[in-house]
């Protein structure tokens, strides 16, 4: 064939193949994004346990067979959703911390970031509940589960770093091991926000609680032990 006879044609055909590969990769990423968005909508509207792969396929306007080309199971989709939720939280906290120098100021910035998440992205905290639901001894070795754990560890490391900064500059007082305190603090914050996200209607319409006030109260109690 002339492809291996003329250099110009070889380069032309190579560029053409590269263009096709880039388009396939772009299309694949777009399709995965559409599937994950469809899964989020169905998880919220039907509940996780009631959602099937067929439900997700129909919401994404795909056949079930096509969906299985991208994800092997609902569990695989679930972990992708969980990872993205934790990554969004991590990135927001990193940005909040970076704009401050003192440890206490960093901690307050993290508090404000969490409240912002709840007001505008509360579903993300709803999806982090899935991690506790899905994490078992059987799934612990799964690569997607390990990815979730890595992101959570990065959030924990950020908490620890902020406390270390505060202890050094004298704006935060911590008793005990910093990493243990950081894990306790992170767990309290996430558990409270997850609870509020999963019971939003109950708290607002039936119990007449203001969710932001509840969050502020939780942080006030938590920060009181550090200052």
Residue 24 has a pLDDT of 74
Residues of the chain above pLDDT 70, percent: 84
CA–CA distance, 151 with 82 (Å, rounded to integer): 10
Residue 69 has a pLDDT of 92
pLDDT at 191 over 90: no
Q: Is residue 144 within 8 Å of residue 79, measured between CB atoms?
A: yes
| Span between the terminal Cα atoms of the chain, in Å | 77
User: pTM of the prediction?
Assistant: 0.79
pLDDT tens-digit map of 2-53: 444 455 555 556 555 656 677 777 878 888 999 999 999 998 888 888 899 9
Residue 137 has a pLDDT of 57
CA–CA distance, 149 with 144 (Å, rounded to integer): 9
Domains and CATH numbers, the chain: 1-71 (1.10.10.60), 73-227 (1.10.357.10)
Q: What is the mean pLDDT of residues 79-98?
A: 92
pLDDT at 70 over 80: yes
pLDDT tens-digit map of 91-139: 999 999 998 999 999 999 999 999 998 888 877 777 887 776 666 656 6
pLDDT at 74 over 80: yes
Q: Is residue 77 within 8 Å of residue 56, measured between CB atoms?
A: yes
């Amino acid at each position: 064939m002339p492809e291996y006879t003329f250099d110009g044609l070889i380069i032309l055909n190579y560029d053409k193949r590269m263009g096709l590969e880039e388009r396939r990769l772009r299309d694949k990423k777009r399709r995965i994004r559409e599937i994950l968005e469809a899964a989020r909508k169905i998880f919220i509207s039907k509940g996780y346990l009631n959602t099937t792969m067929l439900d997700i396929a129909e919401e994404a306007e795909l056949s079930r067979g096509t969906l299985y080309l991208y994800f092997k199971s609902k569990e695989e989709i679930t972990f992708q959703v969980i990872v993205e939720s934790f990554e969004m939280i991590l990135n927001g906290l990193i940005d909040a911390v970076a704009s401050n120098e003192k440890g206490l100021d960093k901690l307050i910035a993290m508090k404000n970031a969490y409240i912002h998440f709840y007001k505008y992205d509360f579903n993300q905290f709803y999806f982090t509940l899935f991690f506790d639901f899905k994490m078992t001894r059987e799934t612990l070795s799964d690569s997607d589960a390990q990815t979730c754990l890595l992101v959570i560890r990065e959030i924990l490391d950020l908490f620890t770093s902020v406390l270390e900064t505060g202890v050094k500059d004298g704006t935060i007082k911590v008793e005990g091991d910093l990493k243990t305190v950081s894990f306790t603090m992170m767990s309290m914050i996430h558990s409270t926000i997850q609870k509020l996200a999963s019971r939003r209607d109950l708290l607002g319409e039936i119990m007449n609680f203001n969710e932001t006030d509840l969050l502020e109260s939780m942080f006030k109690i938590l920060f009181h032990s550090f200052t």
